[in-house]
Amino acid sequence: MEKYKGIRSRYECPACHRKRVFARYVDTWTGKYLSPDVGRCNREDNCGYHYTPKEYFHNHPENDFSEIRQDNFGKGRKGYDTKVTPRGKTSQPQRIDCISEIYIPKYLGTRSDFVYFLRGLFNEPETDPIIQRLTGEYCLGCMDTGAVIYWQIDGQKRVRTGKVMRYNSETGKRLKNGCNAIDWMHARLKREGVLSDEWELSQCLFGEHLLKRRPKDTVCLVESEKSAVIGSGVMPGCIWLATGGKCNLKAEKCECLKGRNVILFPDLGAFDVWKEKGEAIARRVGFTLSVSDTLERIATPEDRGNGLDIADYLIRQITTRIKQEAAKSKVYPDQENPALLI
């Protein structure tokens, strides 16, 4: 792990997105970082993210040159495990620590600020079909503070964790100020003594549990959970999943997509990286991938500066449509046809 050399040697965590809290692992052979997401978050109680070199090389065997190094020098280099697993042998399945499913109904609710925003966006009360479907399919939870819980449930219905986030109920923008801007259910349960300190986080795609229900539907993969929920509200014919972070587009998370048709929607500023990673993952896992360049084509310089994502684009579409429908219902006294007020 990179030694602390001041605040510049600590980076944004790919899981909780806090800045200057993430320590990366360094390849002692090349002096370079293994990967931007290989490292440990120092917010152990609130985040607990730790992606080790061992896990990285297991997931990316094409980057493991330890055998070559051992042959050339007769012994392993510092920072590497010299016990190389022979190619072709099946590794032991990784242990998956889970949260009891009893916590989903315990925190189930539609009173979060995010759901209030959805109700205003789709112009529906909480009892109407779109809101009921979205909250039910994604098992959206609610804290007493109004924060929403995005549960991560895998294809075997195991609850991996839940991301707790706050939103402005009118704008839908995430509230990033304050120490409780983002939290994790596994971290809360650790603080309460429900989970042991040895419990380790292993994330999956948000919405992964929906795949088995709809085996033939196209999958839309986005970065944020908010984008997945709104996307499903606009285009219910597709299954909308989220990685939960820009650095969380990984092969091990996408194993569940094998044999599927997948559309990748990169945020502005991440198109080239996500396209390259997505195509490599698709070849490795075995699914058909197309990468949407919609945002790249329609974005203004201001949009790029603000880091527009697919959710922002969909919100614009919905808001414009509502304005147009409202305008059509108004008629000027000297006109026979409705006036379009935008």
**pLDDT at position 64, please?**
57
Q: CA angle, 92 as apex, 163 and 207 as ends, to 5°?
A: 25
Domains and CATH numbers, the chain: 7-73 (no CATH), 96-204 (no CATH), 205-342 (3.40.1360.10)
**3-state secondary structure (DSSP) of residue 224:** coil
Which among 282, 277, 323, 275 is positioned nearest to 296, based on CA atoms?
Answer: 275
The predicted model scores a pTM of 0.71
Which helix (H) or strand (E) is 265 found in, with range? none
Select from 180, 117, 112 the least CA-distant residue to 151. Answer: 112
The predicted model gives 263-272 an average pLDDT of 92
> What burial class does residue 237 get, using C-beta atoms within 10 Å of its C-beta: 0-12 exposed, 13-18 middle, 19+ buried?
exposed
Q: What are phi and psi of 198, to 5 degrees?
A: -80, -10
Mean pLDDT of 75-100: 52
d(CA 71, CA 74): 5
Look at residue 15 in the predicted model and tell me its pLDDT: 79
More confidently predicted of 317 and 68: 317
- Please tell me which residue, 65 or 324, carries the higher pLDDT value: 324
| pLDDT score, position 332 | 47
Average pLDDT over residues 12-16: 83
- Is residue 139 scored above 90 in pLDDT? yes
Residue with tokens 């995010």: 114
Q: Distance (Å, rounded) from C-alpha 182 to C-alpha 103?
A: 18
Say which residue, 9 or 30, is predicted with more confidence. Answer: 9
pLDDT, tens only, 142-189: 999 999 999 999 999 999 999 999 999 999 999 876 545 689 999 999
- Cα 130 to chain centroid, rounded: 22
The pLDDT assigned to 47 comes to: 74
Q: Can you give the pLDDT at residue 148?
A: 97
B/e letters for 9-29, b = 16+ CB within 10 Å, e = fewer, are ebbbbbbbbbeebbbbbbbee
The contacts of residue 108 (CB under 8 Å, 6+ apart) are: 139, 140, 141, 142
